[in-house]
Every structure is written in C-alpha cells, then in structure tokens.
C-alpha cells in the first residue's frame, strides 16, 4: 500500500503541474522554469562531489564520492521527453543512485528536440559511450541507466550498438521508460486521469517533436517494437498509475521473448519517475533497489 506521504506529494505534483501550465509556454521558457525549480529545491546528499566536464563538445558531470571505484561507471541519461531537463533536474537522483550502488555516475546533457530531433540524442549517447571505452573503461564495467525518455534512450542506444556489432554495456536500468512513442498501450487511456505528471495528449505532441517526421514505430524511436536479442540484463521500475505502465510491460515482454534476463518491478500507487522525489519513502526504497541490482552485475 502506498505511504501516507505519497498521497500528499502526488496531490502537490498535480496542483503544481496545473498551475505552471508549461504546455502554454514557449519551450525555452518551460526549460528555464523546470531547471530553476530543480536548482532551488534539489539538494545533493552529503559526501557527494560533482566534477563538470566537456566530452567532445557535450556538457557532462561526474558524480562520485571517495568510495566509488575508478574503473566502474553508470552512464545516466536524464528524462524529459527528449526536449526538457538537464543535469540540474537529475543531479540529485543520480547522486542518490551513486551512493546506493557504490558506482560513480556520468550525467551528460545530450541535445534536445525540437532543435535537435531524432537521432541527435542517440548520436550524443554513442559519443559518450565510445569516449568511455577510449578512456579505458571496459564495457563490462559500464551500465546504462535512465528515466522516461532517458530509459528509452538507453534501450535505443544499446540497440544501435548491437546492430553495429559493437560491445554492449553490462546492464540496463530503466525507470518508467518511454519506449513506445506510438502511445499504443492500454495505460495511456486507463491511467490518463491518475498520473499526476503526464498527460497522454502532451506525450503525443512531444513524441512528434522528437520524431520530426520519422515514423513513430521506427525501432530506434520506439524500441519496444525491436528484436532485443543479445541484450544485456534489464532492470525496469514503473508505477502502477502512470500512463507509461504499458511501455514498461511491453518492453519487458519483448525482452523476455528475445531471451533477455529481465527484472520488472511495478510499484503500487506510484506515478511517473517517483524515484526523483527524495522525500518519498517509496523513492528511497526504489533507489536502494536500483543500487542492489547494480551491485550484482560484474561491478565488483
């Protein structure tokens, strides 16, 4: 059963989203509001260090502490519908995952749509991953992780690597992954009035902005439709009341059919990317669960 605090936090999220009306603002203004809010209310955990860097023209941040090992890394891809969010919005979540997993995080700011539509985000992620390999990181010591669009980007990038016969990361961690931009799943209708964050109509508009005329069922745009044979183990968390519930379930089904090891955990009463709410008991438990998964896969 969801915690009492989840009831109040969910109501606050819904009221805040309604008040901001970001869909009525220009995209640059919306981005600024989102990032400003994150900077104001997000607080890094103690004993956490952030190192800013540029990787082949892409801004990124290393998030680590004195206990993370030098040769292990989680490449974390932030969500935001491929058009929003940044290191500012996801730095705290990434830091909490770093602490629970004991593995340092690399958090890049890939290019955003509509200025930079598909496949720009995939190209930037490939650049970062290949750079890590050039620096001497073994693919078996790299995990891809991401939430929402970042979860989908993790899958799409791995699919690209596999199709090009390149080495794959050790595992994938997908939080509320957006992997079906056609919005074909039942939860887009069933949970349309339950999810405090996402609206089905706005998700469809965001999908069109990212695809920029490409077919939404393109497997690199909606990797849920891809053959996932040869993929590394996948760990998926999703909330029971979010509109992307079907995305996660369909992704897990597709992976299992391809013989991939999959761990799918559906959290009762939780909404889209609840893990980011660090005051929420369920968020703390979910991040601990992520850390336990990461520790299993050849990283120690």
Measured distance CA(151)–CA(172) in Å, rounded: 8
Measured distance CA(177)–CA(155) in Å, rounded: 9
Considering the candidates 90, 222, 254, 272, report the single residue annotated as catalytic.
272
Is 272 considered catalytic here?
yes
Supply the DSSP string of 261-295, one letter for each residue.
Answer: -EEEEEETT--TTGGG-TT-HHHHHHHHHHHHHHH
For the beta carbon of residue 130, count every other beta carbon within 10 angstroms: 14
Tell me the backbone φ, ψ of residue 125, rounded to 5 degrees: -65, -40
Measured distance CA(280)–CA(6) in Å, rounded: 6
Measured distance CA(288)–CA(263) in Å, rounded: 15
Is 242 considered catalytic here?
yes
Which residues make beta-bridge pairs with 106? 62, 75
For the beta carbon of residue 44, count every other beta carbon within 10 angstroms: 14
Considering the candidates 6, 148, 187, 254, report the single residue annotated as catalytic.
148
Contact 266, 75 (CB under 8 A): no
Considering the candidates 61, 100, 242, 282, report the single residue annotated as catalytic.
242
Is 51 considered catalytic here?
no
Cite the active site residues. Answer: 148, 242, 272
């Amino acid at each position: 059963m969801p915690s009492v605090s989840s009831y109040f936090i969910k109501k606050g999220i819904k009221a805040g989203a309604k008040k901001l009306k970001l869909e009525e603002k220009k995209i640059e203004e919306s981005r600024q509001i989102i990032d400003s809010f994150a900077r104001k209310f997000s607080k890094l955990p103690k004993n956490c260090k952030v190192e800013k860097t540029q990787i082949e023209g892409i801004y990124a941040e290393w998030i680590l502490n004195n206990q993370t090992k030098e040769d292990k890394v989680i490449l974390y891809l932030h969500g935001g519908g491929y058009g929003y969010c940044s290191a500012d919005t996801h730095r705290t979540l990434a830091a909490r995952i770093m602490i629970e997993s004991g593995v340092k995080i690399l958090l890049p700011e890939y290019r955003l749509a509509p200025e930079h539509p598909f496949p720009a985000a995939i190209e930037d992620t490939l650049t970062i991953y290949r750079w890590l390999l050039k620096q001497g990181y073994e693919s078996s010591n790299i995990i891809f992780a991401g939430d929402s669009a970042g979860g989908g980007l993790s899958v799409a990038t791995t699919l690209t690597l596999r199709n090009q016969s390149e080495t794959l990361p050790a595992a994938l961690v997908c939080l509320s992954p957006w992997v079906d931009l056609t919005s074909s799943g039942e939860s887009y209708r069933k949970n349309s009035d339950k999810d405090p964050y996402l609206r089905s109509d706005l998700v469809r508009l965001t999908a069109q902005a990212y695809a920029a005329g490409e077919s939404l069922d393109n497997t690199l745009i909606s990797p849920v439709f891809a053959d996932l044979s040869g993929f590394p183990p996948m760990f998926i968390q999703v909330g029971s009341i979010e509109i992307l519930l079907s995305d996660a379930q369909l992704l897990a089904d597709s992976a299992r059919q391809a013989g991939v090891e999959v761990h799918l955990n559906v959290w009762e009463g939780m909404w889209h990317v609840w893990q980011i709410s660090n005051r929420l008991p369920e968020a703390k438990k979910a991040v601990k669960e992520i850390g336990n998964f990461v520790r299993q896969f050849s990283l120690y």
